[in-house]
Amino acid sequence: MHSRKIVMTLNQSTVYRNLKILIDDGWLRRISHPSLGTLYERTGTGHHHHFHCRQCNRAFELPGCVLKEDNVAPDNFVVEDHEVFLFGICPSCVRYDKA
């Protein structure tokens, strides 16, 4: 639902200012999605990755991490963080296609 349908006077700068406050306070974290742009999610969920369904355009959290940072970067590179997105079709869309 569009936020302006709920609060008619809400403007974009108010939304971004409050998102920044929530990030600075540690409640939210920013994720850079390769095709959807910037997404936000609650902190405290532990390190995990994401799956993007190309059919319904939803992003899903995938628990845990199988990537071993020490083994993926060439010598003398220092890995500080990583984000992994898998792309495909989610179970709901697969069932819908088969129906």
How much of the chain, in percent, has pLDDT values that exceed 70? 92
Q: Could you tell me the residue ranges of all domains in the chain?
A: 1-44, 45-99
Overall average pLDDT of the 84-91 stretch: 93
Query: What's domain 45-99's architecture?
Result: 2-Layer Sandwich (3.30)
* pTM of the shown model: 0.68
Q: Which two structure tokens, joined as six digits, stand for 85?
A: 């997105």
How confident is the model at residue 81, as a pLDDT?
82
Question: For 24-71, how does the pLDDT look when each residue is reduced to its tens digit (9 = 90+)?
Answer: 999 999 988 888 888 899 998 888 899 999 999 998 989 888 787 777
DSSP 98: H
CA-nearest of 78, 39, 30 to 59 is 39
- Split at pLDDT 50, 70, 90, the class of 3 is low
How confident is the model at residue 98, as a pLDDT?
66
Quote the strand ranges of the chain, DSSP E: 28-33, 37-42, 48-53, 59-63, 85-88
